[in-house]
């Protein structure tokens, strides 16, 4: 198993203890694309920080390729190279004078040969669709917000992680920036066969990308299944104050009004076809 969480409980000790994660058991296989959803404070960010050893659980084991990383003997630097984490608003962490230096920062710490570093910087800027020769010498601080976000993501990709975790990567991006990001994640998953864990409040993204959706509430896993299975739990999601993808919402409402349509379709053209077929069935002419 690539990632295995066993009986994880995490308690933040402030003025009074807060249970952030409550007895979590979860296995993630290679090449899965996990969509992690839940309202603010449900435990998503705590969960992903456990996975690369940024925090240690109060109780339980975090196993990466069957090695428990919560014991003292594990080299966390290696774990963090294997499991890349893109934080919320990662562009706030850009600090170097040029785009090149910023993306090269992680690989340099791996003591790689200069030509390997250069190759990695070039490849990862290519992945995020930033032209290498055009941008390498620019200051990251004179780029647009969307471009800064892509440079920050390139910095994590340059570590060649096996697993990529992203916490709300599309927040604040314009529609085109969001589409580019979705295409990037699709590419990383399908072509480069990376394992991806995506935290997002945008159910459209989750429905289009994820192979498995995990819903968290009050530190517990409350739903766990394919997008079709999870988004079929409409009442449950509403109780948790979560949205359905809008396309699913439309199909549900039509079904309620007597349309015989499937509700597990997440593409616009697929939904249109389904609706049209039903309308033609009803009024054959």
* Site for another protein, rule CB under 8 A: 39-41, 88, 142, 144-146, 168, 171-179, 201, 204, 241-243, 246-247, 249-250, 253-254, 257-259, 268-269, 271-273, 275-276, 279
Extract the runs of DSSP E, i.e. beta strands, from 158-258.
163-167, 195-199, 212-217, 220-225
For another protein, which is the closer residue by CB, 48 or 159? 48
For another protein, which is the closer residue by CB, 3 or 198? 198
Report helix, strand or coil for 276. Answer: helix
Give Cβ neighbours of residue 33 (< 8 Å, ≥ 6 apart): 185, 189, 195, 196, 198, 209, 210, 211, 212
CB of residue 31 vs another protein: minimum separation in angstroms? 28
CB of residue 199 vs another protein: minimum separation in angstroms? 11
For another protein, which is the closer residue by CB, 111 or 142? 142
For another protein, which is the closer residue by CB, 107 or 219? 219
Extract the runs of DSSP E, i.e. beta strands, from 75-132.
83-86
Q: Report yes or no: 164 and 196 within 8 Å, Cβ to Cβ.
A: yes
Q: Give the separation between CA 33 and CA 189, rounded to whole angstroms.
A: 7
CB of residue 93 vs another protein: minimum separation in angstroms? 15
CB of residue 173 vs another protein: minimum separation in angstroms? 7
CB of residue 142 vs another protein: minimum separation in angstroms? 7
CB of residue 89 vs another protein: minimum separation in angstroms? 8
For another protein, which is the closer residue by CB, 1 or 279? 279
For another protein, which is the closer residue by CB, 121 or 143? 143
For another protein, which is the closer residue by CB, 196 or 247? 247
3-state secondary structure 66-88: CEECCCCCCCHHHHHHHEEEECC
- How many helices (H) and strands (E) are present in the chain, helices listed first? 12, 10
Q: Give the separation between CA 24 and CA 250, rounded to whole angstroms.
A: 33
CB of residue 101 vs another protein: minimum separation in angstroms? 20
CB-CB neighbours of 211 under 10 Å: 14
Q: Cα dist. 76→42, 55, 61, 245 in Å?
A: 26, 11, 15, 37
For another protein, which is the closer residue by CB, 110 or 275? 275
Q: Give the separation between CA 198 and CA 181, rounded to whole angstroms.
A: 11
CB of residue 18 vs another protein: minimum separation in angstroms? 9
Beta bridge partners of 11: 19
Strand bridging mode 83-86 / 163-167: parallel
């Amino acid at each position: 198993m690539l990632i295995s969480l066993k009986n994880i409980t995490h308690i933040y000790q402030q003025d009074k203890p807060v249970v952030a994660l409550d007895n979590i058991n979860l296995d993630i296989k290679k090449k899965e694309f996990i969509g992690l959803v839940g309202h603010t404070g449900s435990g998503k960010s705590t969960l992903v920080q456990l996975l690369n050893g940024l925090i240690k659980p109060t109780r339980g084991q975090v196993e990466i390729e069957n090695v428990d990383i919560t014991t003292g003997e594990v080299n966390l630097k290696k774990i963090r190279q294997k499991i890349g984490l893109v934080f919320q608003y990662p562009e706030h962490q850009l600090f170097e004078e040029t785009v090149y230096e910023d993306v090269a920062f992680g690989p340099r710490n791996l003591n790689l040969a200069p030509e390997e570093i250069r190759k990695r910087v070039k490849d990862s800027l290519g992945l995020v669709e930033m032209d290498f020769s055009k941008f390498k010498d620019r200051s990251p601080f004179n780029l647009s917000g969307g471009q800064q976000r892509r440079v920050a993501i390139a910095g994590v990709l340059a570590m060649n992680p096996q697993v990529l975790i992203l916490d709300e990567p599309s927040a604040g991006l314009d529609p085109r920036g969001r589409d580019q990001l979705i295409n990037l994640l699709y590419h990383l998953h399908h072509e480069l066969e990376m394992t991806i864990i995506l935290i997002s409040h945008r159910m459209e993204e989750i429905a289009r990308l994820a192979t498995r959706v995990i819903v968290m509430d009050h530190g517990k896993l409350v739903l766990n299944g394919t997008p079709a299975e999870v988004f079929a739990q409409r009442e449950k999601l509403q109780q948790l104050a979560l949205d359905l993808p809008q396309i699913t919402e439309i199909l549900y409402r039509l079904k309620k009004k007597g349309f015989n349509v499937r509700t597990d379709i997440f593409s616009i053209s697929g939904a249109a076809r389904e609706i049209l077929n039903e309308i033609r069935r009803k009024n054959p002419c």
